[in-house]
A and B are shown apart, each in its own frame.
Chain A
Amino acid sequence: AQSVTQPDIHITVSEGASLELRCNYSYGATPYLFWYVQSPGQGLQLLLKYFSGDTLVQGIKGFEAEFKRSQSSFNLRKPSVHWSDAAEYFCAVGRRGGNKLTFGTGTQLKVEL
């Protein structure tokens, strides 16, 4: 069975500081990996995804993530955080050819001005 672990429930960073949100997955084959962002009371917006190829993927809003197979990780990064980045971030894994996603428990990001 596939699973996703986001070890950090809450993270607080200062505006302008760099950010890294951790995501570890458990999956028997090469996974499809996603990062979504959710603002309070809103749906999920896709930030980026990894299917294959270059292990460093670029997303929207200046985010990037790196797939490291040896570490079963897909950490999300941003070099300089903006106050508007404050939200809940979810990492998810899916099966090739399938559609179901398994989500991590999320990381709540707070940005201090």
Chain B
Amino acid sequence: GAVVSQHPSRVICKSGTSVKIECRSLDFQATTMFWYRQFPKQSLMLMATSNEGSKATYEQGVEKDKFLINHASLTLSTLTVTSAHPEDSSFYICSAREPGQSGNTIYFGEGSWLTVV
């Protein structure tokens, strides 16, 4: 079946630095990908919609200058957390819709743990 892959699965960075997380659709082309954030023992909150070849659409309250999203190809979207702070530590998950016949089937990546120290 369709596979969405994220890299890295875990990353530790120093406060004030930037870190990039990649999301790849391995079996299909995804014009749209989604980035979610999940705090421990909580549900997933949509951060932004990544659109291939155009600007991302951010949800209310998400700082677009802090969470930079680039969707440079039909199989790759990247999330860059800029000037990271400890409160940015979280589990980040991407998803992509498999295009096709029966409507929306949305697959998720394995997630990326970010720890800012």
Contacts and interface: CB of A to CB of B under 8 A. Distances in A.
A99 B103 CA distance: 10
Contact of B108 (A44, A49, A96): A44
Interface residues of B, number: 24
Interface string A71-108: 00000000000000000001000101011111111101
A36 to B, nearest CB: 7
B93 A44 contact: yes
Contacts of B113: 41
A34 interface: yes
Interface string A22-40: 0000000000101010000
Contact of A43 (B6, B41, B42, B105): B6
B43 A99 contact: no
B43 A103 contact: yes
Given A36-B108, A43-B109, A101 B46 contact: yes
Nearest to B93: A43
B51 to A, nearest CB: 10
B97 interface: yes
Interface string B18-47: 000000000000001010000001111010
B106 A34 contact: yes
Q: List 5 A-B pairs, minimum CB-CB distance, nearest first.
A: A44-B108, A43-B110, A43-B111, A51-B103, A105-B43
Given A43-B93, A44-B93, 20 more contacts: A32-B104, A41-B111, A42-B110, A43-B111, A44-B108, A46-B106, A46-B108, A49-B105, A51-B102, A51-B103, A94-B104, A96-B103, A96-B104, A99-B34, A99-B104, A100-B46, A100-B49, A101-B34, A101-B46, A106-B42
